[in-house]
Amino acid sequence: MSGIAGFFEVDNLAGQAGRDLLQRMGRFQAHRGPDAEGYFQEGSTGLGHRRLVLQDEVGGDQPMYSADGRYVLVMNGTVYNHLDLRSELEELGHSFTSASDAEVVLESRVTSRRARRGSGIVGWCCRTRSVGTSRCIRRMAVMCWS
């Protein structure tokens, strides 16, 4: 499994202090994601990801951005039915640039025509950049979203 970290609307973490904290959090969980790391910071909000590659070695790096750049996602875990969800979203007109289940979660969160529920052992955070809101879900058992 990978590792995710973040902070939200913490005024004293804007700028370099926030970047430094994200990198320290990433180093702390490097054992959970030795294959890649990535960070997102916007103002006083930051997200970090350490990746253990289990699928889509090339296209699954995170943070992952929606096609329009409005949403950013970090995710840890596995969505068991991501292939079914991907098919549903493709039928609704979505296209994908990777084979990652994280991209399926991202696209299912940003569309107004959401696919049916997903299931898996997963934790994720999706940031709406232009609005400045975040939604985070953490489940250590089978989870569903709608």
Q: What CATH number corresponds to the domain at position 10?
A: 3.60.20.10
From the list 123, 124, 107, 118, the residue with the least C-alpha distance to 81 is: 118
Q: Tens digits of per-residue pLDDT, 74-121?
A: 998 888 889 998 998 899 888 899 999 999 988 887 775 555 577 788
Q: How many domains does the chain have?
A: 1
At residue 112, the pLDDT reads 59
SS3 1: coil
Q: Which amino acid is at 37?
A: E
Q: What is the pTM of this model?
A: 0.82
At residue 87, the pLDDT reads 93
Chain mean pLDDT for the chain? 83
From the list 104, 47, 29, the residue with the least C-alpha distance to 38 is: 47
What domain range is 111 assigned to?
3-145
From the list 8, 11, 34, 39, the residue with the least C-alpha distance to 23 is: 39
SS3 40: strand
| CA distances (Å), origin 17, targets 6, 22, 129, 138, 146 | 13, 9, 20, 26, 36
Position of tokens 């990746």?
51
**End-to-end alpha-carbon separation of the chain, Å?**
24
Q: Does 64 score more than 90 pLDDT?
A: yes
